[in-house]
Amino acid sequence: MSQAPSTPMSAAPASHPLPSYLQANNLGPWGVYLQQVDRVTPYLGNLSRWVETLKRPKRSLIVDVPIHLDNGTVAHFEGYRVQHNVSRGPGKGGVRFHQDVTLSEVMALSAWMSIKNAAVNVPYGGAKGGIRVDPKTLSRGELERMTRRYTSEIGIIIGPNKDIPAPDVNTDEQIMAWMMDTYSMNQGSTATGVVTGKPVDLGGSLGRREATGRGVFTVGAEAAKHIGMDISTARVAVQGFGNVGGIAGKLFAEAGARVVAVQDHAGTIYREAGLDVPSLLRHVAHTGSVVGFAQAEAIANDLFWEVDCDILIPAALEQQINAGNAGRIKARMIIEGANGPTTPEADDILHDRNVLVLPDVIANAGGVTVSYFEWVQDFSSFFWDEAEINARLVRIMREAFAGIWQVAQDNKVSLRTATFIVACKRILHTRELRGLYP
């Protein structure tokens, strides 16, 4: 295993101990990704001579995003767009607005997009963007101005054939509409294909909003068959109840499962008999969080990890499952709705404890799969109905997962390493075919 960079952290005040995932020896997301590449390298055969390609993002852009605040002052935010790899096609990946966004986080997220896109075999490389900002502190006007200025700044590297952003943490259809409009204004013509995850009335795709959650459910249901788990009696715990966790929870509940615990940025709720997911979703839409939901008890955030459940779905941020809590998890199966929620140390602990981890790079690939459908529909200006979109999504996810399952069995490796084997071979094969320029 090669050396990965560590993230220097200042000591935390005694009254506020840092969670283990933020401590000084923490690798950070990019370090985690480098370890994952090291783990897969022995399985790449001759293609391993190109592996260094995967350890170096092709192009990283840092931009200053100045905007007028409503109070008349000017604020500056730092924005990023990283194109990790474009061997298989244009860059593709979301944009997140979060106060903890850093260049190294965006690098890791862009790399995971390369792996994910290759794992489901959509013709894209990997990219990701973000702004270090807490969007909850901005008015709607400020949010729009920031989004537009950021889009304009990264406009030199994005485009329908170059790099196609999409929603991610704290970004949604409206943000995509502003991005599309800004890019189009600068180009002088409407270019719907420059972003995906747009409103349906603006070249968006039916089923896109639910796609990541639907993919999480689809892959979970496939894996359950392999391990003899009955979804209709399973107990499910979900971290993050937005676009991904909320929809996945809803689909599991519709299949008969009991969603017993949900945690979000504001707190954790629990109900042994199972939460009423549709009314919880309405509560979240109304209040912004799961906290205060009447038909549930509030529990301490840390207890979420030891809740009695069969399936755990982390669908929030990175490094949530770490050496500090992996030993306490009761679930038999973890479906990674979030990107990078499990550290390599936790991966090993879970493996030793026989917990099956369905890795992000396949489990949450439903979103970008329907993004691909959206992009194709925009190019052809011919739009499909939702049944067709969902059927195609489920087919792609099932086929990709079946192939990965087989590779895991054949090589006696985890599903994460198996997904990396499939994806890295695809990426490096095109790398080799294209050859080195000049």
92 classed as catalytic = no
Report the distance separating Cα 234 and Cα 437, nearest Å.
52
Binding mask 319-358 for ligand GLU (x = CB under 6 A): --------------------x-------------------
Does 367 participate in binding ligand GLU (rule CB under 6 A)? yes
Whether the CB-CB separation of 104 and 28 falls below 8 Å is answered with yes
When the beta carbons of 251 and 296 are compared against ligand GLU, the nearer one is 251
Q: Which residue is nearest to ligand GLU (CB)?
A: 94
Does 393 participate in binding ligand GLU (rule CB under 6 A)? no
Residue spans of alpha helices (H) in 120-236: 140-154, 173-187, 208-227
Residues 145-164 within binding reach of ligand GLU (CB under 6 A): none
Does 371 participate in binding ligand GLU (rule CB under 6 A)? yes
Phi, psi (5° rounding) for residue 79?
Answer: -120, 160
Report the distance separating Cα 342 and Cα 424, nearest Å.
20
CB of 79 to ligand GLU, least distance (A): 16
Whether the CB-CB separation of 280 and 286 falls below 8 Å is answered with no
Give the binding range for ligand GLU (CB under 6 A) out of 29-37, 92-100, 268-276, 294-302. Answer: 92-100
Catalytic pick among 92, 128, 250, 425: 128
Report the distance separating Cα 29 and Cα 343, nearest Å.
9
Does 92 participate in binding ligand GLU (rule CB under 6 A)? yes
Does 317 participate in binding ligand GLU (rule CB under 6 A)? no
Q: Which residue has the tokens 């000591």?
A: 11
Is residue 203 packed enough to be buried (19+ CB in 10 Å), middle (13-18) or exposed (0-12)?
A: buried
Whether the CB-CB separation of 214 and 393 falls below 8 Å is answered with yes
Q: Would you state the structure tokens that stand for residue 288, as one six-digit string?
A: 């912004």
Residues 168-227 within binding reach of ligand GLU (CB under 6 A): 168, 196
**C-alpha 227 chain-centroid distance:** 25
CB of 228 to ligand GLU, least distance (A): 30
When the beta carbons of 244 and 415 are compared against ligand GLU, the nearer one is 244
Beta-carbon neighbour count of residue 410 at 10 Å?
A: 10
When the beta carbons of 92 and 132 are compared against ligand GLU, the nearer one is 92
Which residues are known catalytic residues?
128
Q: Which residues bind ligand GLU (CB under 6 A)?
A: 92-94, 166, 168, 196, 339, 364, 367-368, 371
